[in-house]
Amino acid sequence: MTPLAGFLLVAALLFSIGLAGALTRRNAILVLIGIELMLNAANLNLIAFWRYGPHPEALTGMMFAIFSIAVAAAEAAVGLGLVISIYRHAHTTDLDMMNRMKG
Amino acid sequence: MIEKMDQIFVLLLHWLTGFLPAWLQAIAGVVICVAVIVCLYPALFALAVLLERKGLGRMQNRYGPNRVGPYGILQPIADGVKSLTKEDIVPLSADAVVHFLAPVVLVVAVFMGFAVVPMGRNMVLVDMDAGLLFYFAMSATTELSVFMAGWSSRNKYSLLGAMRAVAQMISYEVPLLMSSVAVVMITGSLSLTKIVDAQNSYTGIFPHWYIFTPWGFAGFVMYAIATTAETNRSPFDLPEGESELVAGYHTEYSGFKFALFFLGEYVAMFSISGLGTTLFLGGWSAPFSFLTWVPSWIWFFSKIMLSICVFIWVRGTLPRLRQDQLMNFAWKFVLPLTLLNLFVAALWRFLGEGWERWVFCSAILAVVYVAMGLVEMRRDHFGPRKYRYAE
Amino acid sequence: MQESISFTPQLITSPLAEMLWLIPALPIGSAGIGALLKQSKRKTAAALAIGSMSLSLLLALAAFAHVLGSWAGGVAARETVNFTWIQVGATSVDLGWILDPLSAVMLVMVTLVGLLIFIYSVGYMEHDENFTRFFCFLSLFAGGMLAVVIANSLLLLYMGWELVGLTSYLLIGFWYQRPAAAAAAKKAFLTTRIGDVFFLLGMVWLFAQTGTLLFYNGGSGSMEHTALSALLAQPATFGLSAAGAIGLLIFAGAAGKSGQFPLHVWLPDAMEGPTPVSALIHAATMVAAGVYLVARVYPLMQAGALTGGTTTALTVVTWVGAFTAVFAALIAVAQNDIKRILAYSTISQLGYMMAGLGMGGVAVGMFHLITHAFFKALLFMGAGSVIHGSHEEQDIRKMGGLKSAMPWTFGTYAVGMLALCGFPLFFSGFWSKDGILEAAQHWSVARAPFYMLVFGALLTAFYMTRQVAYVFFGASRASKAAHESPRVMTLPLAILAFFAVALGALGTPAWPWFKAFLDGHAVGFGLEGFAEPGLLALMATSTVVVFLGLGLGWKLYGGKSPQPEQPDVLESAVPVVWGWLRNRLCVDEFYGVTVIAFYGWWAKVSDWLDRRVWGGAVAGVAWVFRGWAEFNRFFDNTWVNGGFDKGCEDLATGGGLLSRVQNGRAQTYLRILALAVVALAAILIWSSRA
Amino acid sequence: MTVVFYILAAMTVAGGMAAMLLKNTVHCALAVTVAFAGLAFLFLDLDAQFAGFAQILVYVGAVAILVVFAILLTRGSETPKDGVASKHWLAGLVIAAGVFAVMGWAILQSAAVLPHEMPVPAVTVLDIGNALVTRYVLPLEIVALLLTAAMLGAVIVALHEKEAAQ
């Protein structure tokens, strides 16, 4: 089993874990954590492809990863801010309780 | 001979590892260095504690510790023994694992920082390409440990202290980074050894330290303020403000864990002042060209001790801030000025050699600093207290 | 001006000629400043205008001296300064100014008379609240006039020409509160405009033919030999050459400005303006501009003439001039308004000048122009002084006996009157008029103009005597006692009187200095000038005629003081003729029933066309579109909107069904997304694997 | 496939698992921090120094702190009575498993499994910096803008009620 495949598998596993968490937990914050995990798995993929890709000197994957880290930080900040304001509003972070936006 | 004195530790290392088989030498070298660092800094810590207590005593017009040994020199040893022999109490409702992990994480993270700080010519553990980044990454993890400590020992004082500490550290990390980025911009490298080399030259007898440039001076002032807050030193020592919350996040710690926290704080002080020395005070380079014969490591450690003395002096002098004042100071005063400093550094970089850059940069900095100082000093800034961060 | 030098390397333009543009620029500039002044700044305005005018006078004198100096060396200099104004492809429109005897003399005359009139009007207008505006207009007028004078390009001349027209409109209508004044201003503007249209046509034609509007340009100007011969070669209608036709068109413009017969009607009404204006514009300068224009383009008119002979254009000019002279003089006899009399006399004198130009050449006409400018300005200002003194009274029958009331005015007025009548030997009018008569005597085409002009001279003497007798002699019929005018008004009168006498010396047959100066050849003093055959006889005739007129006038009007209401002596004698003359031979009425009526009718027709035909068409189009719009509205309401509503309802129901799926739980959506990803990825891999 | 890789992978996956499984939310936060750290070390193992340290700085230093703050501010630390899993947790689990299956299948399908070795790319921080300010300058600026906007947005969203109250 080649190193690339190994990294990819780890990333896939991490992604699935994050997805599972996002799908099964009720706490909004933990859902966010799951999403962060998924993002990180993607980053790992990018870095792995950069490392084992044909043109590492082009830095494409690396840049992709760095930018996605930055974006993920922003996303986390905004998401948590939303969770807090929702909590102030509804006094819960339980996603099952929050189904007001239904058609 | 001078060369030998300068490189004595390096030579020593080579001599020691010389006995080992080749495949072991690299690892052995690293192990030895780590061991040295881990032994050296606690010793310095003891010295610093003694220094602080005596110095504060003098400043507060009283004798410091003077019972143990002549002039109480042995006081630190007594303290160490006491903290090691004390019973290690873990509160019943505490989260035992986290409660145990917190000090460990702190100390580990703090010691990691020394890996990239050059303590003398050729005396850096890992000459990393992204040394500065590594350093800040490590110092960032300490915040987590503080939170762990505060949260795990189910105690509202601890929690409050931890929250305060974390908030404060995060807010002051930004100016800390910014003020160092200026240096990186000028040097063009994140590697601390390169930064020191860039400052290790002289015009006449005077060195090219960054503190002797307009932006460098301003940046150093900002850096000093940020470090004081980052290490929870007075006047920014709210996280362990005795009068408000007993001892902050390590209220529930005792014995060796407490000692670890204590050690961690002081070592953090050492490492961060070492970084400051490296960034602005020319690292291990001599202050005057005719003093270069003095071994470089002596300069490094004397500079560190000097900054420790400044820490102590500040603590003895200034009163403690209020939480909201602290935050306002960080976000509304220090951060803008560091940003301005970035701009000025860029200007410095692109104005090129010559007297103009001195005039322009100094003028800009002076004007803005004076104006902002006036604004901040207006009376209506000291209004009734707002409990935003301390709820 | 680089061009001029490159065209004529042998001609060196002196710095004075370079500076010539300052002469019109100064008054125009002062006008610009005066326009910005506050109404209350009366002194400043007057000082500004007079100062700039006197500066121009100094410059003009300098230029005159310069020309004199060059003339002493033989042929008089003609210096031009030309520059390109607009450059369009190959063709360029050039402007420029010229310094030659003609322009020099005119410059001096205009600036001098103008300055005197400025000074005079300080006194005359001192009670007017629009003092500053008045001086602003005056300066503007002077500037325009001077631009006309120095112009070396027909275009520049036309600019100044129009500026002059505009200012005369503004000045005639200066008291625009009076309906009469406003109407007179309009009349003047429109009438002169008719002439100007012809002028413009002539100018365009000239440009089309010669490609330049410069008069003199070192051989390539439109008044110089090459261009003229080209124009002669070009035939036009009525057996005229292009040169003649263009000349006539330009003459039409001149006739408009200097009130020749068909277009003279505006001039008498223009007397509604303030008296200095009448003096400046309608006696001395503007009306002279027409004559000056003809003199400028004289080469064009004369082109193709055999030596000593004449051309069609000149013949036309002559006849028009002669007719106008007699015609206006006749009307003048029967007028009672002091200023109207002078106005008609001006018209007739302008006729004399035109005739002189037509028959005797530039010198003769211009000489009479100069002398007339001075004594007619004198007369107008005297009349103004009289009006001022007798409390804005203008009817000569309500005056009388002012001789004792205002001696200065009387003395100067008498001098002017005698000069106008051409009192022998001592007065300039005599010599200048004599020159014209002599030219008429020797005219090869016809004798009639000579007799007409002699008759005109008789009438002139007669009506002037009548006027003076009415105004200054006999018992006073005025309601209020008259008083002498202030010194600031009488002083210019005195100066003008001096010139009215002295100028004659420049044109005696014994020493025809003026003619020589304009034609640019040397001159010497010698009584043998009188020895010319027929000259003495002619002088004798004119003398006799003048005395006849004076005596007749004195016999009829002198000494008695008829009341205003009782009819005039001649009226009781020949009432019919008198009536005709009183109504100015009904020219205005004639125009009223012909031209104006025609325009009124035409306006009605156009109005009808507008309303009925074009308006109808527009309305029809509008109606069609409205119908179309109505149809569209119907279509929208029924089909489009209806269809949309139906579709929207369907969509709403569909959405209602679909929205069941959307239960507002984020995780549900995420779940569905993940399922979709799984399916998609599976399909992709499966397809790619094969 | 070195030992280091296996250790780090185990650490990371374990951290992730713990984060998703533990009952106490704060423990979850700490566990996810471990996972983040493990990922950072994986980056280092991939010779991506810069990315690794950036990962530590951003995630361990900032995001984790944010998370615990959020947890404490929303009183999320005490575990609810009726379990931590939502309804349909089983469906979620199945779907996640399906996703992993598809991905693993894809990876094992792909050319990544074919053995090929790449030399360690000689990429210094200087190169990254140059690339950032030359070729990737536009994305850099955009990300800077995004971060500023996100900061302001987060502050406003979180402070909104307070502002209303004051």
Question: What pLDDT, on the 0 to 100 scale, is given for residue B390?
Answer: 52
Do C665 and A31 make contact, defined as CB atoms within 8 angstroms? no
SS3 C297: coil
CA–CA separation, D157 and A78 (whole Å): 8
Within its chain, how far is the Cα of B78 from the centroid?
Answer: 26
CA–CA separation, C688 and C678 (whole Å): 15
- Residue of C668, C671, C685 lying closest to D105 (CB–CB): C685
> Closest Cα to residue B51, out of B319, B315, B321, B320?
B315
Q: Which residues of A touch C675 (CB under 8 A)?
A: none
Question: What pLDDT, on the 0 to 100 scale, is given for residue A102?
Answer: 64
Question: What pLDDT, on the 0 to 100 scale, is given for residue C10?
Answer: 38
Question: What pLDDT, on the 0 to 100 scale, is given for residue C5?
Answer: 32
pTM: 0.53
Answer whether A touches C (≥3 Cβ pairs < 8 Å).
Answer: yes
Q: Residues C130-150: what's their mean pLDDT? A: 89
Q: Residues C429-449: what's their mean pLDDT? A: 83
A101, part of any domain = no
- C339 confidence band (pLDDT: 50, 70, 90): confident
**C665 interfaces chain A, CB cutoff of 8 Å:** yes
Q: Which residues of A touch C670 (CB under 8 A)?
A: 19, 22-23
Within its chain, how far is the Cα of C217 from the centroid?
Answer: 26
Do A22 and C667 make contact, defined as CB atoms within 8 angstroms? yes
Q: Residues D37-62: what's their mean pLDDT? A: 88
**C676 interfaces chain D, CB cutoff of 8 Å:** no
Question: What pLDDT, on the 0 to 100 scale, is given for residue B384?
Answer: 62
Answer whether B touches C (≥3 Cβ pairs < 8 Å).
Answer: no
CA–CA separation, C381 and C282 (whole Å): 12
Do C667 and A19 make contact, defined as CB atoms within 8 angstroms? no
Question: What pLDDT, on the 0 to 100 scale, is given for residue B223?
Answer: 92
- D80 confidence band (pLDDT: 50, 70, 90): low
Do A17 and D17 make contact, defined as CB atoms within 8 angstroms? yes
Q: Residues C416-422: what's their mean pLDDT? A: 86
Most confident among B381-385, C25-29, C435-439 (mean pLDDT): C25-29
- Establish how many alpha carbons lie within 13 A of residue C280's alpha carbon, considering only the half-sphere containing its beta carbon: 35
| Residue B225 near residue B294 (C-beta atoms within 8 A) | no
A25, part of any domain = yes
> Closest Cα to residue C385, out of C279, C285, C479, C466?
C279
- C308 confidence band (pLDDT: 50, 70, 90): low
In the predicted model, is pLDDT for residue A72 greater than 70?
Answer: yes
Q: Which residues of A touch C656 (CB under 8 A)?
A: 103
Two tokens, residue C666: 């984020």
In the predicted model, is pLDDT for residue C7 greater than 80?
Answer: no
> Closest Cα to residue C243, out of C216, C222, C221, C220?
C222
- C622 confidence band (pLDDT: 50, 70, 90): very high
Do C664 and A31 make contact, defined as CB atoms within 8 angstroms? no
| Residue C285 near residue C416 (C-beta atoms within 8 A) | no
Place of tokens 């553990």: B125
Do B143 and D65 make contact, defined as CB atoms within 8 angstroms? yes
Mean pLDDT of chain B: 84
A47, part of any domain = yes
Give strand pairing partners of A27. Answer: A94
Within its chain, how far is the Cα of C263 from the centroid?
Answer: 12
Two tokens, residue B107: 């100390």
Q: Residues A24-47: what's their mean pLDDT? A: 89
> Mind telling me how many Å the CA of D54 is from chain B's nearest CA?
7
Radius of gyration (C-alpha) of chain D in whole angstroms: 20
Q: Which residues of A touch D116 (CB under 8 A)?
A: 2, 52
The CA-based angle A32-A38-A43, given to 5 degrees, is 125
Domain of A52, in residue numbers: 3-90
Identify the closest residue of chain C to A96 by CA–CA distance. C665
Q: Which residues of A touch C665 (CB under 8 A)?
A: 95-96, 98-99
Residues C508-561 pLDDT 10s: 776 777 777 777 666 666 666 676 777 778 888 888 888 888 888 888 877 666
| Long-range contact set of residues C192-197: C-beta below 8 Å, sequence gap at least 24 | C192/C165, C192/C168, C192/C256, C192/C257, C192/C263, C192/C266, C193/C165, C193/C256, C194/C256, C194/C263, C195/C252, C195/C253, C195/C254, C195/C255, C195/C256, C195/C257, C195/C263, C196/C161, C196/C162, C196/C165, C196/C253, C196/C256
Question: What pLDDT, on the 0 to 100 scale, is given for residue C1?
Answer: 33
Q: Which residues of D touch B137 (CB under 8 A)?
A: 53-54, 56-57, 60-61
What are the angstrom distances between the C-alpha of C244 and each of C39, C241, C302, C400? 50, 5, 8, 50
Q: Residues D113-127: what's their mean pLDDT? A: 78
Amino acid at C655: G
Q: Residues C379-405: what's their mean pLDDT? A: 80
User: CB count, 10 Å around CB of B114?
Assistant: 23
* Percent of chain C surpassing pLDDT 70: 91
Mean pLDDT of chain C: 82
**C685 interfaces chain A, CB cutoff of 8 Å:** no
Residue C102 phi, psi dihedral angles, 5° rounding = -55, -55
Q: Residues D64-76: what's their mean pLDDT? A: 83
Task: Write the DSSP string, B55-92.
Answer: HHHHHTTS--S-SSSGGGTTHHHHHHHHHHHS-----T
Can you list the residues of chain B whose pLDDT is less than 50? Answer: 391
CA–CA separation, C388 and C431 (whole Å): 32
- Establish how many alpha carbons lie within 13 A of residue C214's alpha carbon, considering only the half-sphere containing its beta carbon: 25
Do D109 and C689 make contact, defined as CB atoms within 8 angstroms? yes
- D77 confidence band (pLDDT: 50, 70, 90): low
- C624 confidence band (pLDDT: 50, 70, 90): very high
User: CB count, 10 Å around CB of C300?
Assistant: 28
Instruction: Suggest the residue from D39, D89, D102, D160 to mutate for an interface test with chain A (most A CBs closer than 10 A).
Output: D39
Residues C144-183 pLDDT 10s: 999 999 888 888 899 999 998 898 888 888 888 888 888 8
Q: Residues D52-66: what's their mean pLDDT? A: 88
C130 torsion bin: left (phi>0), alpha (psi -120 to 50), beta (else)? alpha
- Residue of A27, A74, A84 lying closest to D146 (CB–CB): A74
Reported ipTM: the value is: 0.70
What are the angstrom distances between the C-alpha of C474 and each of C559, C560, D49? 5, 6, 127
| Residue C303 near residue C204 (C-beta atoms within 8 A) | no
Two tokens, residue D166: 């004051």
> Closest Cα to residue C37, out of C154, C137, C169?
C137
CATH (domain of A67): 1.10.287.3510
Two tokens, residue B276: 């400051």
Do D150 and A75 make contact, defined as CB atoms within 8 angstroms? yes
Amino acid at B222: M
Q: Residues A34-63: what's their mean pLDDT? A: 87
In the predicted model, is pLDDT for residue C76 greater than 90?
Answer: no
Q: Which residues of C touch A98 (CB under 8 A)?
A: 664-666
Q: Which residues of D lie closer than 8 Å to B, measured between beta carbons? A: 26-27, 30, 33, 49-50, 53-54, 56-57, 60-62, 64-65, 68-69, 72, 77, 124-126, 162
Identify the closest residue of chain D to C686 by CA–CA distance. D106
Report cis status (omega within 30 of 0) of the bond before B235: yes
Question: What pLDDT, on the 0 to 100 scale, is given for residue C3?
Answer: 33
Within its chain, how far is the Cα of B295 from the centroid?
Answer: 23
Q: Residues C201-216: what's their mean pLDDT? A: 85
> Mind telling me how many Å the CA of D65 is from chain A's nearest CA?
11
Amino acid at C416: G
Residues 6+ apart with CB under 8 A from A90: A97, A98
CA–CA separation, D108 and D100 (whole Å): 12
Q: Which residues of D touch C674 (CB under 8 A)?
A: 95-96, 98-99
**C674 interfaces chain D, CB cutoff of 8 Å:** yes
Do C685 and D106 make contact, defined as CB atoms within 8 angstroms? yes
Answer whether D touches A (≥3 Cβ pairs < 8 Å).
Answer: yes
| Residue C287 near residue C351 (C-beta atoms within 8 A) | no
- A15 confidence band (pLDDT: 50, 70, 90): very high
Give strand pairing partners of D85. Answer: A25
Question: What pLDDT, on the 0 to 100 scale, is given for residue A41?
Answer: 92
In the predicted model, is pLDDT for residue C9 greater than 50?
Answer: no
Question: What pLDDT, on the 0 to 100 scale, is given for residue C221?
Answer: 78
| Residue D148 near residue A73 (C-beta atoms within 8 A) | no
User: CB count, 10 Å around CB of B383?
Assistant: 8
Which of C52-66, C118-132, C624-638 is least confident?
A: C118-132
Answer whether A touches B (≥3 Cβ pairs < 8 Å).
Answer: no
Do C677 and D99 make contact, defined as CB atoms within 8 angstroms? yes
Do A84 and D151 make contact, defined as CB atoms within 8 angstroms? no
Q: Residues C677-683: what's their mean pLDDT? A: 88
Rounded (10°) angle between helices D125-133 and D137-165 = 80
Q: Residues D131-136: what's their mean pLDDT? A: 87
A100, part of any domain = no
**D1-79 has which CATH code?**
1.20.120.1200
- C2 confidence band (pLDDT: 50, 70, 90): very low
Interface A:C, Cβ pairs < 8 A: 34
Residues C235-256 pLDDT 10s: 776 667 788 888 888 888 888 8
Do B189 and D72 make contact, defined as CB atoms within 8 angstroms? no
How would you label A9-48 residue by residue, b for 16+ Cβ within 10 Å and e otherwise? bbbbbbbbbbbbbbbbbbbbbbbbbbbbbbbbbbbbbbbb
| Residue C144 near residue C32 (C-beta atoms within 8 A) | no
Domains of chain D by residue range? 1-79, 122-166
Domain count, chain A: 1
> Mind telling me how many Å the CA of A45 is from chain D's nearest CA?
10
